[in-house]
A and B are shown apart, each in its own frame.
Chain A
Amino acid sequence: MEATVTTANNDEKTWGGGDIQPLGASYGKMMMWFFIVSDALTFSGFLAAYGFSRFKFIETWPLPDEVFTHFPFMHGVAAPMYYVAFMTFILIFSSVTMVLAVDAGHQMKKNKVIVYMFLTIIGGLIFVGSQAWEWKNFINGEYGAIETKGGSILQFVNKEGKQVALADFAATLPEERTQLSRSHGTWFMEEPSRSQYSVAEVQAGFKAHPDLLIRTEVIKDKQKTILSRAESEQRLGQAAYVVEGANLERNEYGNKLFADFFFFITGFHGFHVFSGVIINIVIFFNVLLGTYEKRKSYEMVEKVGLYWHFVDLVWVFVFTVFYLV
């Protein structure tokens, strides 16, 4: 038995740093902390860049309340915040089960560690799934909008100021619209997938519905500005694209950079959660196999716990920056 036991304190094998413990932490734990420092700075860089762009376009940035309004099984009901609040709880709770696993590891209670690790993994999977659902709603969009030649987004509202979907008013014109694909074009020409309606159809539909108005991106007094009917018609004359949902080029919510930052930052965070789940699963199986029981130390659980809490920590900031402020 003794022969198979490996401990970090073996003098011949100093890969783990041996007995030298600067800062009073084991080699692995200290390095995990410094990895977290560098990763924290990476995320700070992204969030600060988001802040830069937002300050740059402070008067036209999309309002989060109007973008993230979905909740499962409540179609058409504007429920801002509730869904992200739910996601935040899932992640905080999986952090709690993780720290409980670490605590049980300190007391060498293998079965407790197994249960808590399992719950942590489940929590992580629910979070990643929720994020996928959030992305799906963001990408599909709900109302659709028009982009002008100058690159700003025009949304449609009714007399009460509520947003109206393109599908509710766009006319159907007898025009032929074919997707330009490589097989049709000359010299490798193609275009991204066509929107459901053409600019002319939206313009005709707008003319036929005199109660519709246009809402611009400009924020005045904490709200987006709604134009008068005459101004709306004039503005719509400059329409260049129909925008439905969001991609990396343009999005129906407003500033183009908004969707880019949303995809990049929540995607990078989601990738961290995903890799955290994978690492948790590896450690989970090691616990099951009794590796740490033999090692007489559950420090590996503690180290992966540090990473997992860091992912939660980042979400706390992403939550504030993208959904609250």
Chain B
Amino acid sequence: MAHAHESNVGRIWKVFAILSVVTIIEVILGIYKPDALHRQYFLGLSLLNWIFYGLTIFKAYYIVWAFMHMEGEKSSLRWSVVLPVVFLVLYLLFILLTEGHYIYGVFKDSTIKWNF
């Protein structure tokens, strides 16, 4: 590790500031839920929820890259950790959410009733 002895304190506090600001934005949006975002839909999800997920990924990136110091690792380690997770999570979400939506449709359109 060539960078082992230099101090990263400045960057750490900067990342903390970024994470805090993003969290505050999330909380403010979560409390006020502006109609312009809350009632607009894109691919079945409201814009507000897209923003929440986007900010979450943004925060996750900073935690992994700066705090877990992924940016200092070799790119082979980086890819062998990040790629399987990203691929499998997307795959899992695609299958489960599609199925969940399908079952919703089954309950809605047929004579079967769940909770009444």
Residues of A close to B84: CB separation below 8 A = 37
The answer to whether B104 and A56 have CB atoms under 8 Å apart is yes
Please indicate the chain B residues that have their CB under 8 angstroms from the CB of A152 in the complex.
115-116
Q: List the B side residues contacting A52 at CB < 8 Å.
A: 96-97, 99-100
Cβ contacts under 8 Å, B13 to chain A: 96
Pick the residue among A44, A217, A313, A316 that contacts B89 (CB under 8 A). Answer: A44
The segment from A85-93, A123-131, A287-295 that touches chain B is A85-93
Check A55 against B85 for contact (C-beta < 8 Å). Answer: no
Which residues 61-92 in B have Cβ within 8 Å of A in the complex?
Answer: 63-64, 66-69, 73-74, 76-77, 80-81, 84-85, 88-89, 92
A–B complex contacts, Cβ < 8 Å, 27 sampled: A23-B73, A23-B77, A23-B80, A24-B76, A41-B89, A48-B96, A49-B96, A51-B93, A54-B100, A56-B104, A56-B107, A82-B27, A92-B23, A95-B63, A99-B12, A99-B66, A102-B69, A106-B4, A106-B5, A150-B116, A222-B39, A309-B63, A313-B60, A313-B63, A323-B30, A324-B26, A325-B49
> Are A55 and B68 in contact (CB-based, < 8 A)?
no
What's the nearest-Cβ distance from chain B to residue A35, in Å?
A: 11
Is B110 in contact with chain A by the CB < 8 A criterion? no
Is B115's CB under 8 angstroms from A33's CB? no
Query: Which B residues from 1 to 17 make CB contacts under 8 A with A?
Result: 4-9, 12-13, 16
Query: Residues of A with Cβ closer than 8 Å to B?
Result: 23-25, 30, 33-34, 36-37, 40-41, 44-45, 48-49, 51-60, 65, 80-82, 85, 88-89, 92-93, 95-96, 98-100, 102-103, 106-107, 148, 150-152, 217, 222, 255, 302, 305-306, 309-310, 312-313, 316-317, 319-320, 323-325
Which of B39, B52, B67, B107 is in CB contact (< 8 Å) with A324?
Answer: B52
Which among B12, B60, B104 is the interface contact of A58 at CB below 8 angstroms? B104
A317 with B115, Cβ < 8 A, contacts A44-B89, A95-B67 known: no
Residue from the list A36, A55, A255 in contact with B115, Cβ < 8 A: A255
Residues of B within 8 A of A102 (CB): 69
Whether, in the assembled complex, B20 has its beta carbon less than 8 Å from a beta carbon of chain A, the answer is yes
A323 CA to B23 CA in the complex, in Å?
12
- Enumerate chain A residues within 8 angstroms of B53, measured Cβ to Cβ: 320, 325
The reply to whether A56 and B103 contact each other, CB–CB distance below 8 Å, is yes
Are B52 and A325 within 8 A (Cβ)? yes
**Complex A-B, nearest 4 residue pairs according to Cβ-Cβ distance, in ascending order:** A55-B100, A150-B116, A24-B74, A152-B115
Complex alpha-carbon distance, A143 and B91, angstroms: 40
Residues of A within 8 A of B30 (CB): 65, 80-81, 323-324
The interface residues of chain A lying within 8 Å CB-to-CB of B38 are: 222
A-contact bits for B35-50, CB 8 A (1 contact / 0 none) = 0001100000000010
Q: Which residues of B contact A59 (CB under 8 A)?
A: 104
Report whether A81 and B99 are in contact in the complex, using a CB–CB cutoff of 8 Å. Answer: no
Q: Which residue of B lies closest to A254 (CB)?
A: B115
A148 touches B7 (CB 8 A): no
Contact A25 B74 (CB under 8 A): yes
Q: Across the two chains, which residue of chain A brings its CB closest to B84?
A: A37
Q: Are A309 and B104 closer than 8 Å at their CB atoms?
A: no
Q: Contact between A217 and B16 (Cβ–Cβ < 8 Å)?
A: no
Expressed in whole angstroms, the minimum distance between the Cβ of B84 and any Cβ of chain A is 6
Q: Of all chain B residues, which has the CB nearest A80?
A: B31
| Pairwise interchain contact B74-A45, C-beta atoms closer than 8 A | no
